[in-house]
């Protein structure tokens, strides 16, 4: 995989080059200081992945991204973002406009710790690009998919049963909650999906989007501007009510529990990552399974990995659950939805443009 680094700071160009050069199967094709130089390299030689700084002179990151998406649509772009409010806002917009993902710039005071973390983040990005290529190149027949649960390396969630709960013939007669899990490609997907829910949508909505601190609050603010429902980053102990969409804060697990009055409320924890994620979809879904709900909708959208599949299995074993998975064609990364399908946990597989209307239909037809 040939990688191009674009950052106007010499120090970050060196750090990114050193970290990427240590990854197997990765060749650093170049490290340039500006957008025009990056576009010239893309026109001159094959590049698979661009690591693109958010703030640069001449052309900033989003401007370069727009040109790359227009002129070199097969090239994957990952943003390199600082941990400031301005960086977070621009990064979320870039993700909504075609960037595959982002990597936060190292903030630790330990050089070795920062480099170890950076190598891990770059390896994750490289794996995503490889998976995306495989999904694009090979459309495996659904009948040929394995039906047993896939092992989740490093997962701290409970092992799934070998036999999946049976698919439902009809949605639950009553519904209390819509639970959503999403990762890579999430900001763009959520900005397309959530505005389709009407202002009178009767189910509370709770979302886990894999994302670090600061960025989830920015994402919630941006979604709130375009949605009919109120969108906010969840805080500890708030009620889960209709008319409101709650987003798990980056770096913390979000659970749903019953308080002493029997009302559904949020609980935030700093427990260890699950499926290498915090927040984790499995943590949210597993907590909801303990709340004696009449019925829920689980929706697993685009994302890398298998987080969420175990949680869907737990929900379906504990209470009436209607499971929806995003289809392969509209997923940026067909990992998380595929894990649900492979375990035979899905009740419906839908393309992104059809999901909001289906969620609305389900909520209106159920008490």
Residue 285 CB contacts under 8 Å (≥ 6 apart), including other chains: 179, 181, 298, 308, 310, 311, 312, 314, 315
Q: Rounded to an integer, what distance in angstroms lies between the CA atom of residue 1 and that of residue 46?
A: 10
Q: Which of 205, 213, 195 is CA-nearest to residue 251?
A: 213
- Backbone torsion region of residue 340, taken as left when φ is above 0, otherwise alpha when ψ lies between -120 and 50, otherwise beta: alpha
**Cβ atoms of residues 161 and 323 within 8 Å:** no
Q: Which of 50, 81, 82, 84 is CA-nearest to residue 66?
A: 50
Terminal-to-terminal C-alpha distance of the chain: 52
Residues marked as catalytic: 183, 210, 307
Token pair listed for 320: 């009436």
302: three-class secondary structure by DSSP: coil
């Amino acid at each position: 995989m040939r990688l191009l680094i674009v950052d106007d700071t010499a120090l970050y160009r060196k750090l990114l080059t050193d970290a990427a050069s240590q990854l197997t199967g990765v060749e650093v094709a170049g490290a340039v200081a500006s957008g025009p130089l990056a576009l010239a390299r893309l026109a001159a030689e094959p590049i698979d992945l661009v690591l693109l700084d958010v703030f640069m002179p001449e052309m900033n990151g989003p401007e370069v991204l727009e040109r790359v998406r227009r002129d070199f649509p097969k090239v994957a772009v990952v943003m390199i973002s600082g941990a400031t409010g301005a960086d977070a806002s621009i990064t979320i917009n870039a993700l909504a406009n075609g960037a595959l993902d982002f990597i936060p710039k190292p903030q630790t005071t330990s050089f070795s710790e920062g480099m170890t973390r950076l190598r891990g983040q770059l390896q994750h990005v490289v794996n995503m690009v490889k998976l995306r290529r495989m999904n694009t190149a090979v459309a495996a027949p659904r009948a040929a998919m394995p039906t047993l649960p896939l092992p989740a390396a490093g997962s701290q969630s409970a092992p799934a049963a070998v036999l999946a709960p049976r698919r439902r013939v009809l949605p639950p007669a009553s519904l209390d909650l819509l639970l959503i899990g999403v990762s890579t490609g999430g900001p763009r997907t959520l900005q397309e999906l959530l505005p389709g829910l009407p202002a009178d949508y009767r189910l509370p909505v709770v979302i886990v989007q894999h994302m670090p601190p600061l960025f989830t609050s920015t994402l919630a603010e941006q979604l709130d501007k375009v949605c009919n429902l109120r969108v906010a980053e969840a805080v500890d102990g708030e009620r889960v009510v209709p008319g409101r969409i709650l987003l798990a804060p980056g770096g913390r697990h979000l659970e749903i529990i019953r308080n002493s009055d029997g009302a559904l409320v949020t609980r935030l924890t700093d427990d260890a990552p699950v499926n290498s994620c915090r927040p984790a979809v499995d943590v949210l879904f597993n907590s909801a399974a303990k709340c004696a709900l009449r019925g829920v909708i689980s929706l697993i959208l685009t994302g890398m990995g298998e987080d969420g599949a175990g949680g869907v299995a737990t929900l379906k074993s504990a209470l009436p659950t209607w499971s929806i998975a995003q289809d392969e064609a509209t997923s940026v990364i067909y990992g998380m939805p595929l894990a649900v399908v492979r375990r035979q946990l899905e009740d419906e597989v839908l393309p992104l443009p059809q999901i909001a209307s289906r969620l609305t239909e389900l909520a209106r037809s159920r008490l």
